[in-house]
Amino acid sequence: MAATGLLNAQPHQEEEAPSKPEGKAACDPNEEVRSGSNPEPEPAPAYDPAYVDRAAAPGAGVNTYTRLAEILLSGERSPADDPNDASSSPEPEPSYTLSGSKPAYDRNDSSPVSDLTHGGEDTPDDSEQEPEATPDEEAPSTGVSNPDPGPAPGSNDVPTHPKPKPKLSPAYNDAYTEHVVAATGPNANARLAEIMPSLVRHLHAFVREVNLTAPEWELAVDFINEAGKMSDSKRNETTLVHGILGLESLVDEITSLQNPTASTPSAILGPFYRPSAPILPLGSSIVSPSSSPAYDSALTHFSGRVLDTRGDPVPDALLDVWHSAPNGLYEQQDPSQPDYNLRGRFLTDTDGRFELYCLRPTAYPIPDDGPAGRLLALLDRHPWRPSHIHLKISAEGYAPLTTQVFDAECKYLIDDAVFAVKSDLVARFAPREGDPKARWTLEYDFVLSEA
């Protein structure tokens, strides 16, 4: 299937971000902010319907691909969905019709068809079938007195008339969906048996609601296949697609609610995590030597403690730290960077303390060389992620934590392309004095919950 049309349309070109003068912060608070001044971010919780509205909304520009916007907004809530709105009343169900064509299906049409596609005008109506002959009427001449006598006892003759075809539910009928759900066997995996009925029903409802066409379905399959082919041990394009749809942050939030303790909030892993980064002594730098002034102006001393929910230190906790370079690229995206640049693992001391040198992170656009970037462009959405540092923290006897720390002065905090910012993860970088190895300092304590 050739991936043409919908997801290969000419993408809307985002305006190029202005280059930052040397020595300025990665996200300068004096720069113009997309949404006005830079308040403390208060993103809607990922399980709140308002979060879904944010993730579904395309950009406000005129270049949004109309059909794609229609599909993505298919589940948008209406006043009739609000049980607290007494004035609301259900709207009549719309007829999903492409311009200049008749509806591909009618949900109120329960007439049977001979296959799993809509029969249209060729499907006979039961009311138009010829009535059965009465005893007083002469049966058509078939060579026998009874047109359907069945084989005579002891005879090897087979009736010559064809057997009637079974009446299958049309694909647009709810009975068809339940037929698919019921196909699950009694020995199915328990968790799959629990979640697949809901997945099938929601997928079928989505396809019906947007009147998805066969060419659009083929494009979606190609889109998924392309994302999978681009994914490897250094980059996960499929995760990136989930991120821009808000799905990864939603799953992260739901998972965190299963452990409602005073631990540090989690955040998404992202597509550029690499395992097996080198384990370095405390106080080491994850920054490979560079002559770039952008590196020099962003050098940061990062320190803090890892604690349990009682405030006691957690010794020998393993911190896996990584972030992008000043050019906005992770090392596996940039051949000019050394292997595992800006990545490292550190063990806390007996007091739960850690310290390392890194860079003050830089805001960057997510890659536009794959399906995720093209989808953002077609939706007229900006691709920018706020400046952040990734961490994975683990310790024996404690639940592992995957999180991010965001720069409080970055203008994209309230407009993250993957909806991952949480207020408790925002921290301020302060100027560092008396340390020739760093221009900035960041202090942040992490709290782990008991396993």
- Please report whether residue 15 resides in a domain: no
The pLDDT assigned to 51 comes to 66
Domain range for 249 is: 242-448
Q: Which residues of the chain have pLDDT under 70?
A: 1-171, 260
- Please report whether residue 176 resides in a domain: no
Distant-in-sequence, close-in-space partners of 392: CB < 8 Å, separation ≥ 6: 269, 273, 319, 320, 400, 401, 402
CA distances from 141 to 136, 145, 146 (A): 15, 8, 9
Which residue is associated with the tokens 């890659």?
A: 367
List, for residues 350-406, the tens digit of each pLDDT value.
Answer: 999 999 999 999 999 998 889 999 999 999 999 999 999 999 999 999 999 999 999
Parallel, antiparallel or unpaired: strands 364-365 and 384-385: antiparallel
- Please report whether residue 251 resides in a domain: yes
- Please report whether residue 375 resides in a domain: yes
- Please report whether residue 223 resides in a domain: no
Domain total for the chain? 1
* Helix (H) / strand (E) containing 353: strand 353-359
- Please report whether residue 296 resides in a domain: yes
The pLDDT assigned to 308 comes to 96
The pLDDT assigned to 54 comes to 67
Listing from the earlier edge strand, what are the strands of the sheet with 343-347?
A: 343-347, 318-322, 388-394, 401-407, 426-427
- Please report whether residue 370 resides in a domain: yes
DSSP code at position 317: P
Instruction: Give the separation between CA 182 and CA 189, rounded to whole angstroms.
Output: 14
The pLDDT assigned to 46 comes to 54
CATH value at residue 401: 2.60.130.10
For the whole model, what pTM was predicted? 0.66
- Please report whether residue 106 resides in a domain: no
